[in-house]
Structure 1
Amino acid sequence: MKQIFAALLAAPLLLGAASAQTQPTQAPATTTNAATRTLSTDLRIYQNFAEVRQPVAPQQGTLTVIWPQSAWSGLIRDSLDLEGLPYTRAVHQTQGSWLENMEGREVVLYEDGREPQTVTLVRARDILIRDAQGLYRRVDAQDLALPELPPESGYGALPVSTFTLAPQASGTGVLSYLTRSVSWTPRYTLTVGDSGAQLSALADITNGTELAYEVGETELLAGDVNLNNDGRMYRTEAMYDTVATSAPASAGNIVQQESLNGIYRYALDQTFSLPASSTVTLPFMTPKVQEFEGYVGLNRGFSESGDEGVLERYYRFKSDRALPGGGVTVREQGRVTGQTRISETAPGRPVDFSLGRDPEVSYVRSVKTVSRTARSAVFEVTYLLKNSKKQPVRAEIKETVYNDRAQVKGEGVTQNGNQVSFEVTLPAGGEVTRTFTVTIPQQ
């Protein structure tokens, strides 16, 4: 049992009926006299889960998979299957803990304020010991010094999946499952300069399990893919937290493929290693930025009361490629000027976002009631926009009138449904005034 736990940190342990064992990831198995081989894993990684496709080559009769706790707790309900090897049933259960092997053996107990003493471990489940006086009591597992090296995965019992193969099953198969413990996300850097803007992207692939994957084929997918809300398979709690760390990558290019019914696909053209409890960062793509512009803006709802404030800094551009949703860091003159997130955007569609307040561009909004009757109310809205910058700046003002029958009139002001908008260029150190009327039916 001690040797079996040593192999668990590299991959799920796969056992055949004749103790034959296939190690599907990086490290070879350690508990078999039969021939073993390393088989690469295929990953289809989505932005909040992944499909793992692990080749297996059992001998005959049964295939047994012993899972590390972190891999089992991330498994998605009803997704575990064995393809290419017909089976008559699959049983998922919890095997005995490693500490059960110590039952009946002498261990050393260390307790605060007492000399170490040799005791006998009677029952591992609740850490029941018998001391030299023959008395029984429960202690903490961390207070025991053991005669054998325990596994890194802890003393807890491990989940086991056992597939009973059909008589006609032969050759190799694929163990497939969905897991929330492996995912990816893009992150972008928008670099703004005097000549325009450039956009670059990285792909962060995160492995939150103890499994170290040697990945053969990798596909990154982005889009709205819904899964069952119950999420976890057979267990609802995570066994422990994992800390993702940065890891180097020797992978090649990530190539965009044809979309799949609204799902964007990207293929990695080389194999790579995905260490346990790690995040591997790969260069993703460098889309071509089109129609980039920076401006200030205000997006608000209509109000009968006046107010004042400052506008926000906005950026807008189009990309020649589909952009999966992710975080964006904006740099100007080498300095970070803000971070935000963008949603998935098709090629050629505008990406528009705000990076916060611009205190150098302010507004004063005043409202005058022109008339109010039982049938309608008419308001005159005036914006005074001031620019204290040393260069001109373009401003976009948008108001939403929460009445589908409202009518808006004003020079340079447009109405699209219930949204009122206008655009102006504010001169350096200058100001601009715009006025429009809003007629709102009262019935």
Structure 2
Amino acid sequence: DPLRAVDLNIHNSVTEIRQIQSGVGTYQSYFKNDEYANIIDGSISWDGTPFIKQELYNTIDGLKDALVIVRPSTPCKCTIIQAKIIDPETMLLYNLGTKGYFYADRGSIEYQSTRPNQGGTTLRFEFKKNDTTYTGTLSYLMRGITWLPNYDLFIKDANTCNLRAYANIRNNQQQEYQVDNTYLYSGDIQLANTYPTGIPVQALQAGIAIDITSSSSINFDGEQKGFYYYSLKDKYTLRPKSSIRLPFINVNLKCKFYYKTTTGISSGQYKGIFQRYYDLTSDQFLPAGILTIRDNQILMGQSNLPDVPTNYTQTVVLGQDNDVQYLIKGNVTASNKDTTTITWQTYELDMTIFNYKDKDVRGQLDFYGAFQTTINKTTCNSLKVDGTMINLPFQVTKNNNYHCRIIVTLKWG
């Protein structure tokens, strides 16, 4: 049976289940074995009418002392045995006729005085009086229900893009939940014990999109000490072993595409290929999730996006482009005279950046420098030293190349 009128507070790897309960007498709730195995120890809580005792017990123990009939599983002229269950776990029985003990196969047992079950765990609250009218909220933490944002980035040109955000909620349980309210939290909470979720990140990408409304019904509710939280007030059913995909926050995104790579400074001839870089700046916080990039309807790849603060520029690198390459010829023109330790060297670098595309490209070639890096002379445009790095921005027209020289001194001591 589904759990009805449930509120879900979902973090990345743990979820708080909350359900309002009311009634008269003793309150009982049943958990299947796989469901109870995912409940965090010590997390069951009751907020409401004071109770005098909370009890958890294995439901199969309720079969102890049950009267049964043992019938053969295959047709035969065997005697039917009347017995009593001694141990429900092992099915040790007591023969009421012979007064002896024996084990029986579960499939051969017919129950007379009680209904059989496959085991599980029962939660029981006792209140001060047997006829107490109680009301309260039952809550507990469990693994097996998780959420993860994913983002689809559509790029039209180098600086024009559109980001669509979705929330993927996955139920890895056998239990069905009829959800009233959902609260999603960025980041993760610290628990007394660390447990593996058992759900790979890739599994969270797939989902069934349910159309609650034509646009996002998930609202941003605020931030508390680094936790950003969101709410969904629409009701839905979270089926066993399933996932759903909902429109998430609406984001205005600025994007910039360029080519970039980093190399060292050495003597001899060496070459390399530039990588694709995407700079993304959002007008609001983006919880960590999976980013899929499509450039002019072509799938470029995926990346694991970390938590991205508001107005922070996050750089995503997606593979390399063989059409944009560099070639460097390096020579050592001077060095210190200490033969045991080299403390400084001067290099002359002859560089060519090749663009084999039929359109213009822009990017940056970076060099690893040293503790002290000095540009003595250069024909390169906009070259600058940034700490221990040398940055060379470039723009190369279609089917063309860019050539320049650098004389640089590196000091290590």
SS in 2 for 1:264: strand
2:2 alignment counterpart: 10
The 3 A distance-change label for structure 1 pair 294 and 10 is same
Instruction: Tell me by how many angstroms 1:126 deviates.
Output: 3.4
What does 1:219-368 align with in structure 2 at a 5 Å threshold? 219-231=183-195, 246-247=207-208, 249-252=210-213, 253-290=217-254, 292-299=255-262, 307-368=270-331
Q: Determine if the alignment matches structure 1 residue 157 to structure 2 residue 127.
A: no
1:64–1:98 Cα change, 3 Å: closer
- Shift of the 224–243 alpha-carbon distance from structure 1 to 2, 3 Å rule, reads closer
Distance across 2 between alignment mates of 1:431 and 1:191: 29
Q: CA deviation at 1:183?
A: 1.3
1:422 is paired with a residue whose SS is strand
Displacement after TM superposition at 1:54 (Å): 1.0
Q: Higher strand fraction: Structure 1 or Structure 2? A: 2
Structure 2 counterpart of 1:414, one-letter code: K
Residue ranges of structure 2 left out of the alignment (5+ in a row): 95-99
Task: Tell me the matched-pair count.
Answer: 385
Q: Residues 150-208 of structure 1, C-alpha deviation per residue, up to 9 Å, x if partnerless?
A: xxxx9653123333445698541111112221111111111112482111111111112
- Counterpart of 2:391 in structure 1 is 421
Partners of 2:407 and 2:259 in 1: how far apart? 23
Moved more, 325-334 or 353-362: 325-334
Query: Alpha carbons of 1:389 and 1:158: their partners in 2 closer, same or farther (altered >3 Å)?
Result: same
Is the counterpart of residue 384 in structure 1 residue 357 in structure 2? no
> SS of the residue aligned with 2:222?
coil
Structure 2 counterpart of 1:393: 361
The amino acid of 1:249's aligned partner reads I
Query: Match of 1:70, SS?
Result: helix
1:348-370 CA-to-partner distances (Å, cap 9, x unmatched) read 21132122121111122444334
How far apart, CA to CA, are the structure 2 residues paired with 1:319 and 1:256?
Answer: 15
The aligned amino acid for 1:343 is P
Aligned-pair CA distance for 1:117: 8.9
Q: Is the Cα–Cα contact under 8 Å of residues 68 and 109 in structure 2 kept in the other structure?
A: no
Q: Is the 8 A contact 1:315 1:354 kept in 2?
A: yes
Give the distance between the partners of 1:207 and 1:100, measured in 2 at CA. Answer: 34
Aligned counterpart, 2:168: 204
Which range is displaced more, 338-347 or 194-203? 194-203
2: CA distance between counterparts of 1:231 and 1:125?
A: 28
Aligned alpha-carbon RMSD (Å): 3.9
**In structure 2, what is the Cα distance between the partners aligned to 1:243 and 1:319?**
23
> For the residues of structure 2 that align with 1:159 and 1:47, how far apart are their CA atoms?
26
Compute the displacement of 1:388 (Å). 0.4
Q: Give the TM-score taking structure 2 as reference length.
A: 0.78
For 1:188, the equivalent position in structure 2 comes to 151
Taking every aligned residue pair, what percent have the same amino acid on both sides? 21
Residues 314 and 96 (structure 1), Cα distance of their counterparts in 2 relative to 1, 3 Å cut: same
Out of 72, 78, 82, the residue aligned to residue 46 of structure 2 is 82
Structure 2 SS opposite 1:223: coil
Supply the distance in 2 between the matched residues of 1:73 and 1:333 (Cα, whole angstroms).
47
Q: Secondary structure at the match of 1:160?
A: strand
Please say if residues 2 and 178 of structure 2, whose CA atoms lie closer than 8 Å, have aligned partners that are also in contact.
Answer: no
Change (3 A) 1:324 1:383: farther
3-state SS in 1 of match to 2:34? helix
| Structure 1 segments unaligned to the other structure (5+ residues) | 1-8, 12-24, 26-39, 149-153
Alignment correspondent of 1:52: 17
CA deviations over 1:285-344 (Å, ceiling 9, x no partner): 331122x22211114566777632211112222122221111112223323221222111
Distance 2:69 2:385 in 1: 83
1:40-81: per-residue Cα shift (whole Å, max 9, x none)?
222221222222211111423x43332122322222233221
Once residues 180 and 90 of structure 2 are traced to their aligned partners in structure 1, the CA distance between those partners, rounded to angstroms, is: 43
Q: CA deviation at 1:127?
A: 5.6
Amino acid of the structure 1 residue aligned with 2:180: G
Structure-1 separation of matches of 2:252 and 2:9: 26
Q: Distance in 1 between matches of 2:78 and 2:408?
A: 87
* 1:3-152 aligned within 5 A: 9-11=1-3, 25=4, 40-60=5-25, 62-96=26-60, 104-107=68-71, 109=73, 124-126=88-90, 144=107
Asked which structure has the greater CA Rg, the reply is 2
Between the aligned partners of 1:336 and 1:96, the Cα distance in structure 2 is: 53
In structure 2, relative to structure 1, the CA distance for the partners of 1:92 and 1:102 (3 Å cut) is: closer
Cα shift readout 1:206-254 (whole Å, capped 9, x = no counterpart): 112233222222221113533334338xxx999xxx9998445353411
